[in-house]
Amino acid sequence: MSPQASEFALGRALVDPAATPGMDLATLSQVVSQGRITRLLASLGAQMDDCGALSRLPHSARRHFDSAELVHTKQRSDLAYDCESIRAAMDAIGEKLVLLKGGAYIRGDLRPGRGRLITDIDIIVPREKIPQAEQALAAQGWEQAKLDPYNESYYRRWSHETPALVNPRRGTTLDLHHNILPPTAGPDIDATLLFEQLQDIGDGIHALSDRDMLIHSATHLFHEGEFHHGLRDLWDIHQMLGEFPTRDSEFWQGLVPRARELQLEESVFHALHYSERLFGTPIPAAVRGEGDKYRRRLRRPLMDFLFRRAFRPTHPDCALPMTGAALNLLYIRSHYLRMPLYLLLPHLARKAWMSRTAGKEESLDKA
C-alpha cells in the first residue's frame, strides 16, 4: 500500500526525508509552510538530520528548520524547569510526577520527542488525590484559570481533568488529569491500571508504560474533535510504533490484549490502520488481521473518507473536497463519544445559550 502522505509535500518529506533536498524550491516552500502549520517542522528537521539531508538543504529552506529547532530547544529547557516545581508539589503529597503526551516524549528522550513542540504540560494523578494536588501546585505558584460556575461544575463532575492551571510568572499551562477519558465516555477506564505499569524516565519523573503511552495517544487522537494537530499526533504514533518494539520484544504481542483490558481497542485499531496508511508503518500481519476484523464493524468507508481529510495540513495546497464537512462531522462524533445524548444535548444547548449571552454583553460593552 502506497502511503497517502505522499499526496502532499510535507507527507512526502516525512516518509522519505533523505529525498527532501532534491525537491525544487517551490515544493520546499510548501514543506516549510505545511510543517509550520502542523507543528512538525522541527520533527522533520530531526529526521533529516539523522540521514544527513538537513545539511544539504539550500540556506533559504534550512534557516526555517534551524529556527524551529531553536523553539523546540527552548521548550525543552522550559519543560525541565517547570517539572522541578511540579515534582516538588507531587513530592509534597507523596505522589509520583507522571507526565503524559509530549512532555513524556521529550523528557523520556523518545523518538517522537525529537523536535516535538508542546502547547502545555499534561500530568496524571489518582482521582482521590486531585484536591491535594491542586493545593500543592498552588503552593508552587500554579493558579487555576477563572471559570463561570457552570463550567467549573462541568469540569468537576464530568471531565477527566481539572480546569487548566497557569503559572502567571512563566505563562505555562498545566493540565491535571485523573484519567485519560471522561467518566461519561463509553469505555469505563480503570485508571488504577495505568498507575500499576508506570516507567521511570529519569530525574524522579515517570511516564505511562510504552503500551499505555501508545494507547493513550491513540485514544486522545481519535476521541478529539479538533484535528489541527491531527497529523502531528498520528506522526507521534508512527514514531512510537517504530521505537517501542525495539525496546520490548513482546510489545506487539501484548498491545491488543492491553487495549482490550482498558476497553480502548477501537482507537488503537484506528491508530494502527491510519499510521500504516499514511506513513507505511510496519504492522505485524496478525495484529493487522485483528484490526481488519474489528474495523468491519466501524463503517470503514465513512471513517476513511473523514480521516483522510482530517490527517492533512490545514493548508490551501492540501485541501480535499468536503474537508470542512468532514471536520464538522468528526467534531460532532467527538462529542457523541464523550457524553451520552441525555447529557450532551442539554450541555450543548447550555453552551450555545451562554455563548449567545456573552456575545450580547460584549456588544453592549462596545456600544
Q: Mean pLDDT over residues 325-329, rounded? A: 91
Q: Is the pLDDT of residue 2 over 80?
A: no
Q: Is the pLDDT of residue 221 over 70?
A: yes
Q: Which residue has the higher pLDDT, 252 or 4?
A: 252
Q: Is the pLDDT of residue 137 over 80?
A: yes
Query: DSSP per residue over 180-235, as a string?
Result: SS-TTSSS---THHHHTT-EEEETTEEE--HHHHHHHHHHHHHH-S--TTHHHHHH
Q: Is the pLDDT of residue 353 over 80?
A: no
Q: What are 334's three cell numbers?
A: 467527538
CB atoms within 10 A of CB 36: 17
Q: Mean pLDDT over residues 237-249, rounded? A: 97
Q: Is the pLDDT of residue 364 over 60?
A: no
Identify the pLDDT of residue 154: 67
β pairing state of 97-100 and 205-207 = parallel
CB contact at 8 A, 96 and 88:
no
Identify the pLDDT of residue 74: 97
CA angle, 261 then 265 then 270, to 5°:
160
Q: Is the pLDDT of residue 342 over 90?
A: no
Confidence of residue 366 (pLDDT cuts 50, 70, 90): very low
- Return the amino acid letter for 210: D
| Segments in the chain forming alpha helices (H) | 9-15, 25-38, 41-50, 59-92, 101-107, 130-139, 149-158, 192-195, 210-223, 230-247, 251-261, 265-279, 285-295, 300-310, 323-338, 341-366
Segment 51-83, tens digit of pLDDT:
999 999 999 999 999 999 999 999 999 999 999
Q: Is the pLDDT of residue 354 over 80?
A: no
Distance between CA 161 and CA 181 in Å, rounded?
A: 9
Identify the pLDDT of residue 362: 41
Q: Is the pLDDT of residue 361 over 50?
A: no
Q: Mean pLDDT over residues 322-328, rounded? A: 92
Segment 269-292, tens digit of pLDDT:
999 999 999 999 999 999 998 887
- How much of the chain, in percent, has pLDDT values that exceed 70? 87
- How much of the chain, in percent, has pLDDT values that exceed 90? 71
CB contact at 8 A, 92 and 139:
yes
Q: Is the pLDDT of residue 228 over 90?
A: no
Select, from the ranges 128-132, 289-293, 325-329, the one with the highest average predicted confidence (pLDDT): 128-132
Q: Mean pLDDT over residues 71-97, rounded? A: 97
Confidence of residue 363 (pLDDT cuts 50, 70, 90): very low
Identify the pLDDT of residue 22: 96
Lowest mean pLDDT among 17-21, 303-307, 346-350: 346-350
Q: Which residue has the cell 539523522?
A: 50
Lowest mean pLDDT among 1-15, 70-84, 351-365: 351-365
β pairing state of 143-144 and 165-167 = antiparallel
β pairing state of 165-167 and 199-202 = unpaired
Helix (H), strand (E), coil (C) string for 290-333? HHHHHHCCCCHHHHHHHHHHHCCCCCCCCCCCCHHHHHHHHHHH
> Tell me, what DSSP letter sits at residue 22?
G
Mean pLDDT over each residue of the chain, to the nearest integer: 89
Q: Which residue has the cell 471513517?
A: 303
Confidence of residue 108 (pLDDT cuts 50, 70, 90): very high
Q: Is 139 helix (H, G, I), strand (E, B) or coil?
A: helix
Segment 12-62, tens digit of pLDDT:
999 999 999 999 999 999 999 999 999 999 999 999 999 999 999 999 999
Q: Mean pLDDT over residues 156-161, rounded? A: 78
206, β-bridge pairs: 98, 200
Burial class (CB in 10 A: 0-12, 13-18, 19+), 212: buried
Q: Is the pLDDT of residue 344 over 50?
A: yes
